Structure 1
Amino acid sequence: MAKVRTKDIIEKFNLELISGEEGINRPIVTSDLSRPGLEMAGFFDYYPAERVQLLGMTEMEFYDKLSMPEQRQRMSSLCSDLTPCIIVTRGQEIPEYLIEASERESVPVLRASSKTTRLFSRLTNYLEFKLAPTTAVHGVLIDIYGVGVLITGKSGVGKSETALELVKRGHRLVADDCVEIRQEDEETLVGNSPELLQNLLEIRGLGIINVMTLFGAGAVRNYKRISLVINLELWEKTKQYDRLGLDEEKIRILDTDLTKLIVPVRPGRNLAVIIEVAAMNFRLKRMGYNAAQQFTSKLADVIMESDHHDEV
C-alpha cells in the first residue's frame, strides 16, 4: 500500500487542483523532487518521471520563449504515466498545453502560492518523514535525561514495571509494549508509540494505566531519537557479565548500529536506578569521559609502579 499519494500533498500543502483530477490517487514513491529545467530545453534522456515536478519562475520564463510546437512537445513529454503530479509555484498562470497534456495522461496539475525553494524544502522534509523505512520492536522507549533508551527483554521480565518506576522518578514515557521505529537518516532512529497505545502502560496485576492522566503531560512525549538499547534478562549464575563496562556491544536496527547493554534481573536489584545511571554514563561517554577506561589506565599505572618497585 502506498504511504503517500498525490491527494495527501494537495491536502497537506493546500494546493489548488487545476487539471488531471483522475490521477490524484497516484503513489509518490520517492522524496526526491525535480525542477525540470533541462527537460524544458528538450533534454529528456534522464527525465526522473517518478518524482514530483516543480515548475518555478525560471522554468516558466524559459517555456514562454519557446515556439508553440516546442511548448506542446515539452508539456506532453513532462506528463508521463509515472509522474505523480506537476506543481506550478508562485501562483503563476498554467499553460494551456500543460492542462491539455495533463487531462490526456491523468497527471494532476497543481498550483501553489508559495515560492519554489520554500515549497521544495517543505515538501522534501514531509516526504522524507512519510517515506522513511520503518519497523516495530517489542519493548519500552523512555526519555531519560535526554537519552532515548529502548528497554527490551522477554515477556514478563519487568520492562513495564521498570518504566513505571522511571516515570515516577521524573522521566518521560514514549511507548510501551510496541515501539514503532523510523529511520530518519543514516545515523538517526526515531521511536514513537502506535496511536492506540499512546500514553498507556500495562502493569501485571493493575492492568492498563494512563501515564499522562496519572502523572501529567510532563511524564510523556510523542517521539524520541533512540540512542541506547538496554536488554533485561533473568540472571544466570553460569553466565559471565561485563563488570567493567569496557566491552561495548552493538545492535543493528534498520540501517543503524546502537549501543546495547545487557542488564541481568534478579530480586533486590533496583533496575530503574541502574538504567538511569546507564543513561547518564552513556551521556558522559558521548562527552568524552569513560570511567572504565580511566580505571583500567590507572590500574595499569599502579601495576607498572609496583613492578618498578619490585625491580628496585
Structure 2
Amino acid sequence: MTKIHTQDLVDQFKLELLAGKEGLQREIIMSDISRPGIEMTGYFRYYPKKRLQLLGKTEMSYYKDLNTEERSERAKKMCTEETPGIVVSRGMEVPHELIEACEEGNVPLLRSPYKTTRVVSRLTNYLEAKFAPFTAMHGVLVDIYGVGVLIMGQSGVGKSETALELVKRGHRLVADDSVEIRQEDYDRLIGTSPPLIEHLLEIRGLGIINVMTLFGAGSVRSHKKISYIINLESWDEKKQYDRLGLDEETMKIIDVDVPKATLPVRPGRNLAVIIEVAAMNFRLKQMGVNAAEEFSTRLTTMIGEEKTNLGVDYDLE
C-alpha cells in the first residue's frame, strides 16, 4: 500500500510551512479531507481527526470572531496526535493561537495562496490517485489515436513486436511487459510503466531498445487511460472466431469491465494494422457508429423484404 506523508504534500504543492515542522513525517491514511466548520463551534464528538483538515474563508472568519480562550481551546482539540496536518487556503493570516497549538502538538500547519475549492480539488485528486486500488498485469499498453489499448497474450506471441510496429506508425508506447494499473475512479483505469523499464521495449533476438531515444519524445507517454483490450492468441483451427463483430466481450480489471477483442495470430496477418483499425472502430462505436449492427440491420431488412416479395408472388399465382 502506498504511504503518503505530510511532507509529500508540501513538496508536491509548494505549501508554506507555518508551524509543526516535527510532524511532517506524519502518515496520511485516507484521501478524505475535512473542513472543520461545526468543530469551530465547539462540537468535537464526531471530529474526523485522522483526516487532513482544511480551513477556508468561512471557517477562518468564524474562528477569528472567537475570543482568545475559545480560540486556544478549539485549536488544541483540533491538533490531535493522529491529525496529519491543517491547511489554510487563500493565503489568509493565521491567528497565533492556532500556530501555538500546532507547534505544541507537532501538527503541520500549512498555507496555500489558492482559493479553497481549488485547494480541495487538487489535494483530493492527488490523494485519491495515490490511494487508488492497484494491480500489475503482463502486457503492452499503447496510445493509438487517443485510445489506450492494452495488448495481452501469451509470452512470445508477438506483443512487443506489434507495439514496435505501432510506434513506427506514429503511435505512442506507455508500457511494455508489465503495466501498472490504478483505478482512479469507479470506471477509470490508468496504466503506467514501472520506472525500471519506462520507455523500453524487449524484442526477442534483438534485446532491449529505448523507444524514446530511437523514435523521439513524441513516441512515448508516461500514463494513459485503458479503454480497450486486445488479446492475442495463436490461431486455433478448431475455434470459431467472431467474424461480424457483434459479440461484445469484456474483461474485469479491479472493479472495471473493459471492452475486449480476441485476435488470432498466424503468419501473414498484419497485427499492427488490425489493432490500429480496431482502435479506430472502437472510437466510432463510442460515437454511436457500429458497422456490425448496421450490417445486421441491413441483412434483417433484406431478408424481410425477400419474404414479403415471395409472399406477394405466391398470392399472384
TM-score calculated relative to the size of structure 2 = 0.92
SS at match of 2:4: coil
Residue 219 of structure 1 pairs with residue 187 of structure 2:
no
Amino acid at match of 2:151: I
Alpha-carbon displacement from aligned partner over 1:21-62 (angstroms, at most 9, x marks no partner): 332111112222222111101122332212211223332222
Amino acid at match of 1:247: D
Residue 9 of structure 1 pairs with residue 12 of structure 2:
no
RMSD of aligned alpha carbons: 1.8
Residue 47 (structure 1) aligns with: 47
* Separation of aligned partners in 1, 2:33 and 2:268: 57
Alignment of 1:6-45 (within 5 A): 6-45=6-45
* Separation of aligned partners in 2, 1:56 and 1:300: 62
Deviation at residue 176 of structure 1 after TM alignment: 0.6
Contact 2:64 2:95 in 1 (8 A): no
Residue 185 (structure 1) aligns with: 185
Most deviating of 228-237 and 92-101: 92-101
* Separation of aligned partners in 1, 2:273 and 2:61: 65
Alpha-carbon displacement from aligned partner over 1:86-120 (angstroms, at most 9, x marks no partner): 12334444434334433443322223343333322
Amino acid at match of 1:283: R
Residue 236 (structure 1) aligns with: 236
CA gap 1:90/1:219 in 2 versus in 1, 3 angstroms: closer
* Separation of aligned partners in 2, 1:263 and 1:66: 69
* Separation of aligned partners in 2, 1:118 and 1:301: 55
* Separation of aligned partners in 2, 1:146 and 1:112: 35
SS at match of 2:156: coil
* Separation of aligned partners in 2, 1:53 and 1:95: 16
Residue 122 of structure 1 pairs with residue 133 of structure 2:
no
* Separation of aligned partners in 2, 1:295 and 1:208: 44
Residue 149 (structure 1) aligns with: 149
Residue 168 (structure 1) aligns with: 168
* Separation of aligned partners in 1, 2:113 and 2:243: 62
SS at match of 2:80: coil
SS at match of 2:43: coil
* Separation of aligned partners in 1, 2:241 and 2:304: 27
* Separation of aligned partners in 2, 1:189 and 1:231: 18
Amino acid at match of 1:184: E
Residue 134 of structure 1 pairs with residue 134 of structure 2:
yes
Alpha-carbon displacement from aligned partner over 1:61-94 (angstroms, at most 9, x marks no partner): 2223223332222112111222100123344444
Alignment of 1:245-260 (within 5 A): 245-260=245-260
Amino acid at match of 1:105: G
Q: How many residues align?
A: 312
Amino acid at match of 1:268: G
Residue 300 (structure 1) aligns with: 300
Residue 78 (structure 1) aligns with: 78
Deviation at residue 165 of structure 1 after TM alignment: 1.1
Is there any run of 5+ residues in structure 2 with no aligned partner, and where?
Answer: none
* Separation of aligned partners in 2, 1:191 and 1:100: 44
Contact 2:228 2:258 in 1 (8 A): yes
SS at match of 2:283: helix
Identity of paired residues, percent? 63
* Separation of aligned partners in 2, 1:209 and 1:135: 25
* Separation of aligned partners in 1, 2:51 and 2:153: 42
CA gap 1:145/1:92 in 2 versus in 1, 3 angstroms: closer
* Separation of aligned partners in 2, 1:122 and 1:188: 18
Amino acid at match of 1:199: H
Is there any run of 5+ residues in structure 1 with no aligned partner, and where?
Answer: none
